[in-house]
C-alpha cells in the first residue's frame, strides 16, 4: 500500500497544501519547527484516524481557525482508496470513498501505517501500562476483534473493582458470592487477551532478532518477553493446542483470583489478570531497561517497528506505510547506512523519513525522493 497524494487545510502549520508522493523512500528535509513532523503526523492520521503525538485533536487545527481538513488518495492491492477527515470542536467526521463512516473500527482494516517517533524510546523504561497499551495496539491489525475483547475486559474489571470496594466497605447487598459471575467473565475475556499477547510475541521474536543484528551490526541477541503469572510453563505451551492452553490459563487464572481474594478485598481492586502483566526487552539475557545503552534502546525500538512491518507483510502479503521521524539524529554513519539498507532489502513499498539536513542522510539513500519543508511549504528537493 502507498499514499499517492495528500491535501491539508488548516492542519498544524499548513494553511493549504497539496502534494504527491512517490513509492519507495521519501525523505522530508527541513530545519526545526518548519513542519516535518507535522506532515508525518498528517500521513499517520490519514492511515489511523489518530495522532501519534497527542490525544487532543483540537490541537491539530491551525491556531485562529475553527476547523481543519485532511484528504488523501491511497492505493492498496490495485484499488484506489480516498479518505478525508474533517476536524472541528465537535470532533472528527471521516469519509471513506465518499461515504461517511461512523466508527473507527470500520476504517482500520483499509489502511495502516507504522510510525517511529523519538518518544517511542521511552517504551523500554516506561511504566508497564504504557508497554501493555503499545503491544495491544500492535496486535489490533492481526486481530480486529481484540479491540472489543479489551473493551469488554476493561468494563468487567471496572465492575469487579467496584464490587470489591463495596464488599470491603460492607455496603448493603454486596457479598463475596456476588463476585463469582464477574470472576468467570474476567477469566473468559482475560484468557483471550493472554493468548493473543503470547501468540504475538512468539510471531514477532524471529523478525526482531534478525533485524536488530542487521541494523546494529552486532551479534547481540535481543529478546522480547511477555511477563505474566497466568501462562503454563514453556514446555507445556510448546506441546499443546490453543484450546488446551486456554483451558489451562483459565484454571491458573481462577486459582490466582482465589489465592488473592483476601488481599483484593483489603485493597479494593483486582490483583490478577492481564492488566497486571508486562513486556520486557532483553539483550543477551540482560534486561535492556537497566543494562542497555541509549543507542541500543534506539536499535531495539527501530527493530521492533521494522519487525511489526515484516509481520504485517507475512499476514497480509503487503507492507504498511512506514514513517520514521528524526531517525538519524543519534545514529552513527554505519548504523544509518545499515537502516537504509535494511529498508531496501525488505522492499517496503513506501517509507517517509524526516531529517534536518540532506548531509545527514546516508549515501545509500540514492534513488530516494527528497522534499524540502520550510514554513509550512513543501517542494521537491533536488540540490
pLDDT digits (tens, 9 = 90+) for 191-236: 999 999 999 999 999 999 999 999 999 999 999 999 999 998 887 7
Q: Which of 253, 281, 309 is the last residue of a domain?
A: 281
Number of domains within the chain: 2
| H/E run at residue 151 | helix 146-168
> How many CB atoms sit inside 10 A of residue 143's CB?
14
C-alpha cell at 134: 503499545
Q: Rounded CA gap, 372 and 369, in Å?
A: 10
Structural domain including 187 reads: 128-281
Pairing status of strand 286-287 against strand 278-283: antiparallel
Say if residue 224 is in the same domain as residue 254. Answer: yes
DSSP assigned state of 230: S
Say if residue 15 is in the same domain as residue 44. Answer: yes
Name the average pLDDT for the chain: 93
What φ, ψ does residue 224 adopt, rounded to 5°? -105, 125
Residue 118 lies in a domain: no
At 214 the three-state DSSP class reads helix
Q: Which of 251, 281, 311 is the last residue of a domain?
A: 281
pLDDT 10s digits, 122-157: 999 999 999 999 999 999 999 989 999 999 999 999
C-alpha cell at 62: 491551525
Give Cα 226 distance to the centre of its chain. Answer: 16
CA nearest to 190, candidates 159, 242, 154, 142 = 154
Residue 178 lies in a domain: yes
pLDDT tens, the chain, 383 aa long: 999 999 999 999 999 999 999 999 999 999 999 999 999 999 999 999 999 999 999 999 999 999 999 999 999 988 999 999 999 999 999 999 999 987 776 777 789 999 999 999 999 999 999 999 999 999 999 998 999 999 999 999 999 999 999 999 988 777 888 999 999 999 999 999 999 999 999 999 999 999 999 999 999 999 999 999 999 888 778 778 889 999 999 999 999 999 999 999 999 999 999 999 999 999 999 999 999 998 999 999 999 999 999 999 999 999 999 999 999 988 999 999 999 999 999 999 999 999 998 877 887 777 789 999 999 999 988 75
Residue 40 lies in a domain: yes
Say if residue 108 is in the same domain as residue 134. Answer: no
Residue 117 lies in a domain: no
Say if residue 132 is in the same domain as residue 270. Answer: yes
CA nearest to 151, candidates 94, 106, 199, 193 = 193
Contact between residue 62 and residue 68 where contact means Cβ atoms under 8 Å apart: yes
Say if residue 135 is in the same domain as residue 274. Answer: yes
Q: What is the pLDDT of residue 62?
A: 96
CA nearest to 339, candidates 353, 349, 320, 358 = 353
Amino acid at each position: 500500500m502507498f499514499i499517492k497524494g495528500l491535501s491539508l487545510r488548516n492542519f498544524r502549520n499548513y494553511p493549504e497544501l497539496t502534494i504527491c508522493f512517490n513509492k519507495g523512500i521519501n525523505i522530508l528535509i527541513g530545519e526545526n519547527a518548519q513542519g516535518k513532523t507535522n506532515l508525518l503526523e498528517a500521513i499517520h492520521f490519514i492511515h489511523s484516524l489518530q495522532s501519534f503525538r497527542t490525544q487532543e485533536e483540537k490541537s491539530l487545527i491551525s491556531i485562529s481557525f475553527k476547523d481543519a481538513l485532511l484528504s488523501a488518495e491511497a492505493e492498496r492491492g490495485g484499488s484506489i482508496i480516498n479518505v478525508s477527515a474533517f476536524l472541528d470542536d465537535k470532533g472528527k467526521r471521516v469519509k471513506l470513498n465518499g461515504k461517511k463512516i461512523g466508527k473507527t473500527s470500520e476504517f482500520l482494516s483499509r489502511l495502516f501505517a507504522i510510525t517511529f517517533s523519538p518518544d517511542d524510546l521511552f517504551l523500554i523504561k516506561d511504566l508497564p501500562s504504557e508497554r501493555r497499551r503499545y503491544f495491544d495496539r500492535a496486535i489490533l491489525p492481526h486481530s480486529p476483534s481484540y479491540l472489543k475483547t479489551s473493551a469488554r475486559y476493561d468494563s468487567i474489571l471496572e465492575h469487579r473493582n467496584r464490587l470489591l470496594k463495596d464488599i470491603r466497605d460492607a455496603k448493603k447487598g454486596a457479598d463475596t458470592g456476588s463476585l463469582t459471575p464477574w470472576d468467570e467473565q474476567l477469566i473468559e475475556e482475560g484468557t483471550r487477551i493472554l493468548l493473543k499477547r503470547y501468540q504475538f510475541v512468539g510471531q514477532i521474536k524471529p523478525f526482531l532478532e534478525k533485524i536488530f543484528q542487521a541494523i546494529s551490526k552486532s551479534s547481540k541477541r535481543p529478546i522480547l518477553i511477555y511477563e505474566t503469572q497466568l501462562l503454563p510453563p514453556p514446555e507445556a505451551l510448546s506441546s499443546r493446542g490453543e484450546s488446551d492452553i486456554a483451558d489451562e490459563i483459565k484454571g491458573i487464572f481462577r486459582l490466582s483470583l482465589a489465592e488473592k481474594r483476601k488481599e483484593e478485598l483489603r485493597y479494593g481492586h483486582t490483583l490478577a489478570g492481564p492488566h497486571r502483566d508486562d513486556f520486557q526487552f532483553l539483550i543477551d539475557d540482560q534486561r535492556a531497561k537497566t543494562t542497555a545503552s541509549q543507542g541500543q534502546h534506539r536499535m531495539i525500538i527501530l527493530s521492533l517497528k521494522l519487525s511489526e512491518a515484516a509481520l504485517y507483510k507475512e499476514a497480509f502479503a503487503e507492507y504498511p506505510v512506514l514513517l520514521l521521524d528524526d531517525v538519524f539524529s543519534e545514529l552513527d554513519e554505519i548504523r544509518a547506512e545499515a537502516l537504509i539498507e535494511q529498508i531496501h532489502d525488505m522492499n517496503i513499498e513506501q517509507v517517509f523519513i524526516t531529517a534536518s539536513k540532506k548531509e545527514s542522510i546516508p549515501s545509500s539513500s540514492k534513488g530516494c525522493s527528497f522534499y524540502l519543508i520550510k514554513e509550512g511549504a513543501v517542494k521537491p528537493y533536488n540540490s
